[in-house]
Homo-oligomer: A and B are copies of this chain.
Amino acid sequence: MKKKSRFLQTPIEPFAVDAALSADQVLARMERISFQGRNLATAHRIWQKMLQDDVTIFMGMAGALSAGGLRLIVAHLILHRYIDCLVSTGANLYHDLHETRGQHHYVGSPHADDAALAEDRIDRVYDTYASEEEFISNDNWIADFAATLEARPYTSREFLYLLGGHLWKTTNRDGILTAAYRANVPIFCPAIADSSVGMGLSQARHKKPGTGHIDIIGDIVESANLVIRRPRTASVVLGGGTPKNFINQASVQAEFYSDEVGGHRYALQIVTDVPHFGGASGSSLEEAQSWGKLATDSARVSVQSDATIALPILASALANTAPPLLATRKAPVFTLAGRVMTVDGQTVPNARFVEEVNEPTV
């Protein structure tokens, strides 16, 4: 009989339907099917591996995930330290703050009459609505808070920590910003100027000259120094955008100053963009290797799916499978209250790059 081809090793195992399967059991049965179903199951396995290894786990989020009902998942991932550092668009933080302040987004229709919505001052995000009036009240709230701060530049990381603290003290409610505050998880927002958080800050400046100043170049330095301090990293990306690139950039920038940095050891992305138009959001994890953003021997998977489908399943599965891993995980310990943050007792400066791991800093 003819020898079997080396390519034919692992048979596809068709998904078998059963009653009462938990989310992780569903994913386990998807491990040997094909296409994006297999990829989602692989994402579950890779995230578990990240938690077992000694890596700093960055998570990026872009797209209207907070307005779209995923903010408490992200808060959960932060609080239980499935992740160590969040990079977000401003809109996701703003919509999180909106709900943490006790307001809502609303179930709507993608076929709405937008002129009628405009008349009612309702803002539409595909099939979801929000009140413009409430948004304006958020802008004011942010502006008022920012105007109370000392008139100096803040990295987005420092400002968001302070904002999260203020929000927690005011509301005592769960959300992304408040979870990050409570769990001492840093949040970076490199495109904060392109969001309503930025609009609130611009109004602070209008109210009180000298306030509302964000030092986003400091964020670059700080994020790269974090990678220099802890060169083993992992990347979880939801939706691409500026967060995806900023996480990769931290790695690339860190490599200039430290030989120990070699790209993420693990990478998983849940995206809807595609590679063939050349944009960074849809770029493949293979391409990321050419840049050194990703170690060539990294474990990686790209899931082509709307995060509003993939993340609830993935997080529900992890809620079953991850707790023992989380219990023994040694997550990095941050202090975020000061102008200069620390990780595991070492400073992470934002004014200059740390060139040797052991040099005295700032």
Contact = CB atoms under 8 A, between A and B. Distances in A.
Interface of A: 2, 5-23, 26, 29-30, 32-38, 40, 62-64, 67-73, 76, 91, 99, 104-108, 110-112, 114-118, 120-129, 131-133, 136, 153, 190-196, 198-199, 201-203, 205-206, 209, 212-221, 224, 239, 241-242, 245-246, 249, 252-253, 256, 272-281, 283, 286-287, 289-292, 296, 304-306, 308-313, 315-316, 319-320, 323, 351-353
A92 to B, nearest CB: 11
A123 to B, nearest CB: 5
B70 A291 contact: no
6 contacts: A35-B128, A91-B280, A153-B213, A194-B245, A199-B253, A214-B216
A88 B95 CA distance: 25
Given A71-B14, A127-B35, A319-B18, A40 B289 contact: no
Nearest to A156: B193
Contact of A279 (B239, B292, B353): B239
A75 to B, nearest CB: 9
Nearest to A103: B11
A35 B308 contact: yes
Q: How many copies does the complex hold?
A: 4
A289 B121 CA distance: 10
A11 B107 contact: yes
Contacts of A214: 216-217
Contact of A205 (B123, B132, B221, B292): B221
A4 B185 CA distance: 37
A6 B220 CA distance: 33
A111 B91 CA distance: 28
A76 B19 CA distance: 12
